[in-house]
Amino acid sequence: MKTHKFHNQVLTSFAETYYGNILKENNLIEEIVIEDTPLWYAVQNGRKYLLSREIAKKLPIKVKTTEEEHYRGKVYYVVKDFETVSFRQEKNHTFRELVDNVGVFDSDNPQQNLLYRLLCWTAHLDRLNFRVATSAGFGKDSMWEVLHILKRDVAVTNPRTMAAIEYRLSNKVIVLNELSNLTNEQNGLIQTFLLMVGDLRTSYEKSTRATAKTKDYYSIKDLSLVVMYNDLDYYKAIGKDKKYFDNVYTKAVKDRFLSFKFTGSLTSEQFVIKESPELVAKVNRQDYVRILRSIEYHRNHWREEVNPSWKVDLKSLGLSPRQQQAFGLIVSFVSMYAASEFEFKTLVKQFVDSFTAYDTMLLEGKAAYKLTDDFAKERKVVFTSEGVAEKLEDIEEVVK
| pLDDT of residue 338 exceeding 90 | yes
Cis peptide before 60 (omega within 30 of 0): yes
Give all domains of the chain, ordered by start, each with its CATH number.
2-7+93-267 (3.40.50.300), 8-92+268-305 (no CATH), 306-398 (no CATH)
* Mean pLDDT on 145-172: 93
pLDDT at residue 370, as a whole number: 44
pLDDT at residue 83, as a whole number: 95
3-state helix, strand, coil in the chain (%, to 5): 45, 20, 30
| pLDDT of residue 398 exceeding 60 | no
Q: What is the mean pLDDT of the chain?
A: 87
pLDDT at residue 93, as a whole number: 98
Q: Is 172 exposed, middle or buried (0-12, 13-18, 19+ CB in 10 A)?
A: buried
pLDDT at residue 31, as a whole number: 87
Q: Is 137 left (phi over 0), alpha (psi -120 to 50) or beta?
A: left
pLDDT at residue 11, as a whole number: 96
pLDDT tier for residue 216 given thresholds of 50, 70 and 90 = low
The C-alpha atoms of residue 70 and residue 81 are separated, in whole angstroms, by 19
pLDDT at residue 367, as a whole number: 42
pLDDT at residue 219, as a whole number: 87
In the DSSP assignment, the letter for residue 226 is E
Contact 222, 172 (CB under 8 A): yes
Contact 247, 118 (CB under 8 A): no
* Mean pLDDT on 142-160: 95
25-73 per-position pLDDT tens digit: 889 888 889 989 999 999 988 899 999 999 999 999 999 999 999 988 9
Q: Are strands 381-384 and 217-219 parallel, antiparallel or unpaired?
A: unpaired
The C-alpha atoms of residue 86 and residue 59 are separated, in whole angstroms, by 9
168-179 per-position pLDDT tens digit: 998 999 999 999
- Beta bridge partner(s), residue 38: 33
Q: Are strands 258-262 and 28-34 parallel, antiparallel or unpaired?
A: unpaired
Contact 241, 247 (CB under 8 A): yes
Cα distances (angstroms) measured from residue 344 to each of 2, 296, 323, 324, 338: 26, 25, 20, 18, 5
pLDDT at residue 199, as a whole number: 94
pLDDT tier for residue 321 given thresholds of 50, 70 and 90 = confident
| pLDDT of residue 147 exceeding 50 | yes
Cα distances (angstroms) measured from residue 293 to each of 172, 186, 256, 264: 16, 39, 32, 31
65-118 per-position pLDDT tens digit: 999 999 889 999 999 999 999 889 999 999 999 999 999 999 999 999 999 999
Mark out the alpha helices in the chain (DSSP H runs).
2-5, 8-19, 53-56, 95-101, 110-125, 142-151, 162-166, 184-198, 232-237, 245-248, 251-256, 277-283, 285-301, 321-337, 341-365, 373-379, 395-398
* Mean pLDDT on 8-29: 92
* Mean pLDDT on 125-135: 97
pLDDT at residue 217, as a whole number: 76
C-alpha dihedral, 234 to 242 to 157 to 51, nearest 10°: 180
| pLDDT of residue 395 exceeding 60 | no
* Nearest CA-CA partner of 258 in 353, 179, 326, 350: 326
pLDDT at residue 364, as a whole number: 86
* Nearest CA-CA partner of 228 in 158, 164, 169: 158
- pTM across the whole model: 0.86
* Mean pLDDT on 273-297: 95
pLDDT at residue 207, as a whole number: 67
Higher pLDDT, 266 or 379: 266
Higher pLDDT, 234 or 207: 234
pLDDT at residue 2, as a whole number: 54
